[in-house]
Structure 1
Amino acid sequence: MSDTNKPADRLTRTRHQSDAQGKPEEDRDDWMKPARRKTARWRIVIRWMIPLFLLLALIGGLIFGYVVIGKQSLSDVFEWKTWQHVIDLVFAP
């Protein structure tokens, strides 16, 4: 692998020397900074949104199944003894 094809070199923007001549030093420094990845923020947001949506879908499904299909009251959905009873029915010997 040659020195110009290093992975770190791909993340830096460089200007040709003839373009950089006559420019202030600050402008040349701006072009030598590493390129910023804008997709990193979206990856973080998506990694948090997917589990959040899955949790909301689970809660919505529990409420829909218990209240609409089972015709029970909404307040019973959030009680632990209700789901303990369901678990006992499912895993009964």
Structure 2
Amino acid sequence: MSDKPNKPTPKKKKAPRPKWLNIIWLIFKIIRIPVLCLLAVYIGLWVGYSKLGHQPSAEIFHMSTWRHLYDLVFAN
């Protein structure tokens, strides 16, 4: 057995972050989920409309496309 007592090793303290870095990190954490959701919607529209539907992908952003889709779904 060793003669040294079991001492806990001292933990090193991290240097505090600058305030601007904390603000940037907070903004990133807040907008991360909405941005990922919008990206998922865009990718889903792109795959569904242009790859499966064989239509030009630029038409995803035209209001006439969505008006036509609405008319097809809710037609009497």
TM range (shorter): 0.5 to 0.7
Structure 2 gaps of 5+ residues are: 1-21
- Residues 3-42 of structure 1 correspond to what in structure 2 (within 5 A)? 42=25
- Count of matched residue positions in the alignment of Structure 1 and Structure 2: 57
TM-score normalised over the length of structure 1 = 0.49
Partner amino acid for 1:54?
Answer: C
Displacement of 1:43: 5.0
Match 1:75 to one of 44, 58, 63? 58
AA partner of residue 91 (structure 1) = F
Distance (whole Å) between structure 2 residues aligned to residue 84 and residue 53 of structure 1: 26
Q: What is the RMSD of the two structures over their aligned residues, measured on CA atoms?
A: 2.3
Cα offsets for 1:20-75 (capped at 9, x unmatched): xxxxxxxxxxxxxxxxxxx8865542221100110111111111100000011122
3-state DSSP class of the match of 2:51?
helix
- TM-score of the two chains, using structure 2 as the length reference: 0.59
CA 73–41 in structure 1, closer or farther in 2 if over 3 Å, else same: closer
Q: Aligned pair 1:58/2:28, yes or no?
A: no
**1:48 corresponding residue in structure 2:** 31
Larger relative helix fraction: 1
- Higher gyration radius (CA): 1
In structure 1, C-alpha distance between the alignment counterparts of 2:41 and 2:51, rounded to whole Å: 15
Higher relative contact order (CA 8 A, sep 6+): 1
User: Aligned equivalents of 1:54 and 1:80: distance in 2?
Assistant: 21
**Structure 1 vs Structure 2: percent identity of aligned residues?**
40
